[in-house]
A and B are shown apart, each in its own frame.
Chain A
């Protein structure tokens, strides 16, 4: 049987994913009132049973609780899933190291060593795209990030990713 590349595996998984924006969000989505962690877990398990293999979360969601819940659910299943999360470019995050530091926080919350996809959640008011790319490249080199995607400027990102030696762009 021919070996399937990680890129192919990733693109197949991306056909349908599970979004985790409402997980843990008490302010806008009434987590803790309208639904609980157990209901979120049931949604996660049902999704996996139906073939979902890609989960998209963010440090912003539920003040990090979305990532924590995902980390707990992943530990309780033997089914491997691809994980995507996002860097939120607060104005006080303005150095190249801000992005790898934030990713470390996400990894700690999820209890994993790396994520499959790291995205820039929102255009940064203070960080140039080049600086964000440097931070992403550092994460790839350190092995904490396997893929990366900039939702803001795909063309610019594509150029930067290749010049920085990042493996692939979605």
Chain B
């Protein structure tokens, strides 16, 4: 396959990886590597080169190749690197989809909590308020900005808030049902 054919294929069909020989009849291997940024932006590229010179090997990595193999190469080595390239690509895409789904799910959860008619208050492991919905704001009179990070006991009635009768203090009268 020529370099131009490879670029056409990368654009129009779904592949998992590219094995690119730098010695192509029509285009330089680096030109194809550059072209793949446009025509196959999701493809890991394994470069095959007859030269072990740094200018070809390291440079191919700097220009976005996944890996390089010098000729003559061991077919098993090529298979292993190809498998790694395909799997790494799959793994990254899967992570991306999971993260996307997770953030969407979180967004839905936040929406449900914040629009719930009941007051919902979440606290962290230290008993500090971490989430406060609109109904809680109406119920207790604190805005979200005021209450986040405060101890959960702040919304408890005074007798429960204080550890012993002698240390109880009257709650300050606040408007809005605090």
Contacts and interface: CB of A to CB of B under 8 A. Distances in A.
A19 interface: no
B62 A64 contact: no
Interface stretch (A75-83, A91-99, A129-137): A91-99
Contacts of B95: 122
Interface in B30-49: 34, 37-42, 44-45
A122 B64 contact: no
Interface stretch (A34-42, A102-110, A138-146): A102-110
Interface of A is mostly: loop
Interface residues of B, number: 25
Given A90-B44, A93-B64, A122-B99, A63 B14 contact: yes
Nearest to B91: A91
B26 to A, nearest CB: 19
Interface in A101-122: 101-102, 104-106, 108-109, 121-122
Given A63-B40, A64-B39, A101 B14 contact: no
Interface of B: 11, 14, 34, 37-42, 44-45, 61-67, 88-89, 92, 95-97, 99
15 contacts: A60-B41, A64-B42, A90-B42, A90-B44, A91-B88, A91-B92, A97-B63, A98-B64, A104-B37, A104-B38, A105-B41, A106-B41, A108-B38, A109-B38, A122-B92
Interface of A: 26-28, 59-60, 63-64, 88, 90-93, 95, 97-98, 101-102, 104-106, 108-109, 121-122, 125
